[in-house]
Amino acid sequence: MFLYVVLCFLDFVSHTNAATLSFERNKQSVDFVGFFWQITDIHYDGNYSISGVPTNMCHQSTSKLNNGTKLGIYGDFLCDSPWQLVTSAIEGMRANNAEPDFIIWTGDSIPHVNNSELDRTEVFKIIGNVTRKLAEVFPNISIFPVLGNHDPYPANQMPPGSDGYYGGILKNSHWENILDSDQQTQFNNGGYYSSYIQSNLRLLALNTNLYYQLDTLVKDMEDPAGQLAWFEKQLIDCRSKKEKAYVISHVPPGAFERLARMSWFYPQFNQQYLKIIADYSDIIIGQFYGHEHTDSFRLLIDQHDEAINTMFLSPAVTPWKSTLPGVGANNPSIRLYSYIKETGVVIDYKQYYLNLTEANSLHKADWKLEYQATEAFNIPDLSPTSLDRLSESFRDNDYMFNKYLVINTVGYDTNPQCNSTCKRNQICAIRQLNLDRYADCISGRRDTTFRPVLTTHHHHGKPDRKPVPRYMFYIIGSMAGVILLLTILFAVLCFNRGKRRRVPFKYGRFAGPIN
Ligand SMILES: *[C@@H]1O[C@H](CO)[C@@H](O)[C@H](O)[C@H]1NC(C)=O
Ligand SMILES: *[C@@H]1O[C@H](CO)[C@@H](O)[C@H](O)[C@H]1NC(C)=O
Ligand SMILES: *[C@@H]1O[C@H](CO)[C@@H](O)[C@H](O)[C@H]1NC(C)=O
Ligand SMILES: *[C@@H]1O[C@H](CO)[C@@H](O)[C@H](O)[C@H]1NC(C)=O
Ligand SMILES: *[C@@H]1O[C@H](CO)[C@@H](O)[C@H](O)[C@H]1NC(C)=O
Ligand SMILES: *[C@@H]1O[C@H](CO)[C@@H](O)[C@H](O)[C@H]1NC(C)=O
Ligand SMILES: *[C@@H]1O[C@H](CO)[C@@H](O)[C@H](O)[C@H]1NC(C)=O
Ligand SMILES: [Zn+2]
Ligand SMILES: [Zn+2]
């Protein structure tokens, strides 16, 4: 009886809701959904040669003894991107969506060569080559760039403050053509700036290379280039103006998922950075990084084991096989996100890729859809809650975890072998950005990877409950009374309605034989 009344009530309400919902859906399918591209880790190598030697980064063989292997025109898994691959990737973006709302370009345009082979002028030129091509293919689209750890000279030595380097990037790498004058002024202070995507959505373009452990210039600094203070100030401003924010940067916080105990930031910066993200997780509704070359994501999980924010890690354009042991290579990739324009909420992304082997053998670059996130992972959206459930499911759902592993290398490894150590590395990196918790997770000292069972949770996680005050009983008592009255009221209403209308099938299914 009570169930019937509830179902009838739901039916009643659903008529108004159904109309709103279908409106929402229509809204999203027309121009209420926006799109933007992410391109990252291009690592353009001007010395790539199809007659080069793979063990020498595919550079022209210097030894007359070696006649040179015939390498692919689009590149090789042992090498960085030839120009042909760079242009192909940017044209692949245009082929798959020529009119994005904007483009984020998250750094690392310089090849993985020794410092001795480069200088600042060369670095500016290489980045400038990529800037030109992007601006040429997308002349009327906002391009938001950030620097990668390979982009300064010498590599990784990002200057912590105003320096000729930043001015050089603006001038000689042509960023003055894609950033407005206000952004340029900010950028000159340390490679970071803010912009507006739309009136209620701010873009915070950070230079997290300043926290990277290989940057020796920042080692003993408290706040390199004053960026942390600036970051927080921007977020405070967003909060007071009721704006949301996207964060774009190159190096992500946390650890690498393909190796144990390899974190990127200096520990103190990792902690400070995460604290800001956590404190403003209601403002930050999207975070986009590169650097790892692999396809992954991160969840910021608070001390109550609540997933409160997501970081998207987009894979690289360069197919280059990492020199780190066991890390591997990847197919070249570009990524298209979709978001609700009104709110800025990221709802999905499509990962496009170039099958490098196939492109080289066909002499034709066909940038295809690799997967669409919500569909491949069978999740309703990309909210922290959904990605929390997904990453938890990796423990027991071999099918889904395996799918993720193939995606992790952009299909370079189509039959990944991942034992329990490898699996732990993956899941701990995704779910534990705090380095202490990450270390506990990796060592297995504490199973922080997965939500603890309730009983232990009360001991460790949350403070003891306070006794329930007496007035709460009165409140609950009177609410129960109101619910009882409402039930009777709706029972009367429903029985009258029931004479005229049938309960729709979808509720009838649960309610048993009504008719
Ligand atoms: C290189 O090419 C020459 C002439 O085609 C040939 O005689 C020689 O054996 C080749 N060397 C190697 C290492 O393949
Ligand atoms: C860089 O230098 C090291 C040591 O001098 C050398 O072994 C390596 O081959 C060089 N790498 C490149 C890409 O030239
Ligand atoms: C490319 O080759 C030239 C000529 O050998 C050399 O001077 C330059 O350093 C190389 N550049 C890179 C990025 O390896
Ligand atoms: C890169 O930029 C330099 C300097 O502007 C130019 O000479 C060179 O042709 C460019 N290379 C490519 C592949 O566009
Ligand atoms: C870019 O915008 C300008 C001015 O709005 C317009 O005249 C031009 O045709 C646009 N170019 C392209 C390629 O859409
Ligand atoms: C790429 O193409 C090769 C050769 O056509 C094929 O064997 C391989 O499965 C393809 N990889 C992906 C990820 O589609
Ligand atoms: C998993 O594989 C790695 C590398 O192949 C190996 O070092 C490690 O000991 C293996 N772990 C387990 C639990 O077998
Ligand atoms: Zn890179
Ligand atoms: Zn990098």
Q: Which of 183, 84, 91, 181 is nearest to 136 (CA)?
A: 91
Query: How many A from CA of 358 to the centre of ligand 6?
Result: 6
Domain coordinates of the chain in residue numbers? 30-443
Find the ligand nearest to 131 CA.
Answer: 4
In which residue ranges of the chain is pLDDT below 50?
1-28, 448, 451-468, 497-515
Report phi then psi at 278, rounded to 5.
Answer: -65, -45
Distance separating alpha carbons of residues 71 and 360, to the nearest angstrom: 8
- DSSP code for 81: B
Q: Is 83 in the pocket of ligand 4 (CB under 6 A)?
A: yes
Q: Specify the fold of 30-443.
A: Purple Acid Phosphatase; chain A, domain 2 (3.60.21)
- The pocket of ion ligand 8, defined by CB under 5 A, consists of 41, 108
Q: Which two tokens stand for residue 211?
A: 């926290």
Q: Where are the alpha helices (DSSP H) in 148-210?
A: 164-172, 181-187
DSSP string, 235-268: HHHHHHTT-EEEEE-SS-SSB-TTSTT-BSB-HH
**Model pLDDT, residue 502:** 36
Query: How many A from CA of 321 to the centre of ligand 6?
Result: 17
Distance separating alpha carbons of residues 208 and 285, to the nearest angstrom: 18
- DSSP code for 383: -
Q: What is the mean pLDDT of the chain?
A: 86
Q: Is 139 in the pocket of ligand 5 (CB under 6 A)?
A: yes
Q: Which two tokens stand for residue 453?
A: 């069972």
DSSP string, 344-364: --EEEEEEEE--HHHHHHHT-
Cα torsion 276, 277, 279, 283: sign: positive
Contact present, 312 and 286 (Cβ < 8 Å): yes
Find the ligand nearest to 424 CA.
Answer: 7
